[in-house]
Amino acid sequence: MYTKSIDAKEARNDIISGMDYSQIMRKYNLSMKGLISLFDKMIASGAIGPAELGGKIPSIDSHLVIKNQFTDSIIFSARAATIKDLVETAITDGVDLSEAELTSANLAGLRGTRSNLSGAMLFRANFNGADLSEAILVGAELSEASLANAVLTGADLSNANLSQTDARRSNFSRARLFQTNLDNARLQKANFRNADLTESRMVGADLTDALMEGAKLDDVLRNDVECEE
């Protein structure tokens, strides 16, 4: 075992089974540098041979890919050091990232203003400190994601699943959260000023010190939740 969370035998089996570098990075939450370090240590210990790695260790600017979660087709591919860098490049190039497969992706600090991540698989993704202002996240799967201190001003999260997310101190001002699932979310000190939460779910959510002035709360399901409108 080379880190507290990675077992060499399991990693070798993943490589032999045909998982590509981006899939391994997502599974073990590794940066490109972390992936290279893992491969170096596996080779040094004899856990795997260079030939089994395709004859080479990926360079720091290896090609990474973003795939469609339903069709497995490639949405975007480019040389990048990390998944975050790849996503930012795609956004800068105006790529439509709807339905992208980004499970557990480390996107902390992402510059994602006006990005389109509708229907994207973002389960357990890390968006801490990210700027997603005016982003389109309609129907996105964000359950158990980290959104602490993220900026989502004016973003559209209608029908998205944010259950059990950590969105403490995040800014949802003027965001659209129509029929959004926020059950059991951690929303302490979050800013929902002038947000549209019509028909959203907030059962078990923690809204301690959340700012709700001007928010639309029509038909919100919020059993056991206390907030001041």
Question: What pLDDT, on a 0 to 100 scale, did the predictor assign at position 5?
Answer: 67
Q: How many CB atoms lie within 10 A of CB 12?
A: 16
Question: What pLDDT, on a 0 to 100 scale, did the predictor assign at position 117?
Answer: 98
- Computed on alpha carbons and rounded to an integer, the radius of gyration of the chain in Å comes to 19
State mean pLDDT over 6-17: 88
Of all residues in the chain, what percent carry a pLDDT higher than 90?
A: 66
**Residues 173, 192 contacting (CB under 8 angstroms):** yes
b/e for 62-83, b at 16 or more Cβ within 10 A?
A: bebbbbbbeeeeebbeeebebb
Residues in the chain: 229
What pLDDT digit, counting tens, does each position of 144-175 carry? 999 999 999 999 999 999 999 999 999 999 99
What pLDDT digit, counting tens, does each position of 58-79 carry? 555 567 899 999 999 999 988 7
Domain-wise residue ranges, the chain: 8-53, 63-92, 93-229
Cα 76 from chain centroid (whole Å): 16
pLDDT at 56 over 60: no
Q: Which residue has the tokens 């001041």?
A: 228
Which candidate, 112, 58, 68, 120, places its Cα nearest to that of 90?
Answer: 112
pTM here? 0.74
State mean pLDDT over 31-58: 76
pLDDT at 3 over 50: no
Task: Give the domain 93-229 fold.
Answer: Pectate Lyase C-like (2.160.20)
